[in-house]
Amino acid sequence: MSVCPLAERGEGPHHGRATLVGAGPGDPDLLTLRAVKALGSADVVLYDALIDPAILDLVPARARRIDVGKRCGRHAMQQSAINRLIVKEALAGAHVVRLKGGDPFVFGRGGEELDSLRAAGVPVAVVPGVTAACAAAASLQIPLTHRDMSRSLHFVTGHGSDGTVPGHDWTALARAGGTIAAYMAGRTLPVVAERLIAAGMAGATPAVAVEHASRTGERRLFATLGTLPALLAEAGFTGPTLVLIGAVVGLADEAAALQRLAA
């Protein structure tokens, strides 16, 4: 494939390029070495709202930093405008780094940005990042897959573009018997749980909600699929919340998890 080598050399008709960089779930220690290198060569950085300030410290002082993040439904910039800005800066000759929380291609809309850059003939590279489900599972020491318990893993979004729960194949998810990682499900969990239970998943299935996975102030709430929605509402989680559902959640040592959180 020629796209990535072109992007790394900065070649192309306008000598500009773009790199879609996954910043991970928040903890700067979870950045990849390749992400650090990309940030170090950036001329322009378009970053999400939840990026830790310590990560931005890796950007050269000469580089421009542009906040394009989304906060509680308020968009600093619409996605279509972000796409146009990345293309514009790259065509002007800059190395544009689009710094995204988690992984660019896991509910990060990186595909839309990639399409825009390809259509404009801009060389582009993609740097993967640690996605929230993996970070949360590692923090809680929950194996997302387990040979004796969960042989499949399903990433689903709990929040569609219109703010409602998307129309997943709930029956297939319930029957799979694997682990479900529901992204952006903090506010929509009552509907997600209702539909999974209606599709045949036991209400007693272990579940955990994790707010701000890997970041300072991370909070965890263990319960069951049937009881977690009400408990989560009482807990008042307001930050980005991931919900893990499945038998493997029952393997977590809650006391140890709380100790690690306080450490």
Average pLDDT for the chain: 89
Q: What is the pLDDT of residue 161?
A: 72
Q: What is the pLDDT of residue 216?
A: 85
Helix axes 110-119, 79-91, angle to 10 degrees: 40
The catalytic position among 48, 52, 100, 103 is 48
Q: What is the pLDDT of residue 12?
A: 45
Name the amino acid, one letter, at 233.
Answer: A
Q: What is the pLDDT of residue 3?
A: 42
Q: What is the pLDDT of residue 88?
A: 97
C-alpha to C-alpha distance for 247 and 152, rounded to whole angstroms: 12
Higher pLDDT, 67 or 75: 67
pLDDT in tens, 98-131: 999 999 999 999 999 999 999 999 999 999 999 9
Classify domain 3-127 at the CATH class level: alpha beta
pLDDT at 4 over 50: no
Q: What is the pLDDT of residue 70?
A: 67
Mean pLDDT across 52-81: 85
pLDDT in tens, 204-238: 999 999 999 988 889 999 999 999 999 999 999 98
pLDDT band at 254, cuts 50/70/90? low
Quickly name the fold that domain 132-262 has: 3.30.950
pLDDT at 13 over 70: no
pLDDT at 2 over 50: no
- Cα 179 to Cα 24, 45, 92, 111: the distances in Å are 21, 35, 45, 25
DSSP helix, strand, coil percent of the chain (3-state; round to 5): 35, 20, 40
Domain regions of the chain by residue span: 3-127, 132-262
Mean pLDDT across 135-154: 94
Q: Is 70 among the residues known to form the active site?
A: yes
The catalytic position among 37, 67, 70, 88 is 70
